Amino acid sequence: MSGGNWKEMFNAGCEGDLDLLRYHVLAGVDVNYAHPEFLSTPLVAAILARQEQAALYLIEHGASVDLGSEFDGVTPVQAARKAGLVRVEDKLCELGAQRPAVERRPASWLRRLFEPSAA
C-alpha cells in the first residue's frame, strides 16, 4: 500500500471527502481490503454512512459489489437498501450484485460470537 493509507482512505469514504478518497485510490490503496481492526470494507462503510458519491466512486474504481462487511453483517446491496441509497443499490445490481429476495440480515460477528447457531 505504498503511497497511500488504508485507514485514511476508509475514513475519507465515511466522511464523504472525495478528494482524499481519490488520492488514496489513485495511490493504489486496495479498495477491497477489510482491515482486521475494522472488519469492514470501505464500500460498505461509505454506504452505511450515507456517502453516496464516495460509494459510487469506490464502485467505479474496483470495489467488489459482493464483498460484505463482517462487522456489519451486510453486503453492499443490503447496506444500500438499509441506508436508502437507491442509486447505489441500482449501480451494484447493474454490475451483477443480487438484490435480496427477502430482507434477512446475516448475523453480525458479535451475534455469531455469542450465539453459534445464529450463523
Q: What is the DSSP string of 11-74?
A: HHHHHT-HHHHHHHHHTT--TT---TTT-S-HHHHHHHTT-HHHHHHHHHTT--SS--BTTTTB
How much is the pLDDT for 119?
A: 46
Average pLDDT (6-12) is 94
As a whole number, the mean pLDDT across the chain is: 86
Q: Indicate the CATH number for domain 6-98+105-118.
A: 1.25.40.20
Q: What does the chain come to in residues? A: 119
pTM: 0.79
66, amino acid identity: D
How much is the pLDDT for 116?
A: 58
- Is there a contact between 59 and 31 (Cβ–Cβ < 8 Å)? no
Name the band, by pLDDT with cuts 50, 70 and 90, for residue 69. Answer: confident
Percent of the chain with pLDDT over 90: 61
Average pLDDT (13-17) is 95
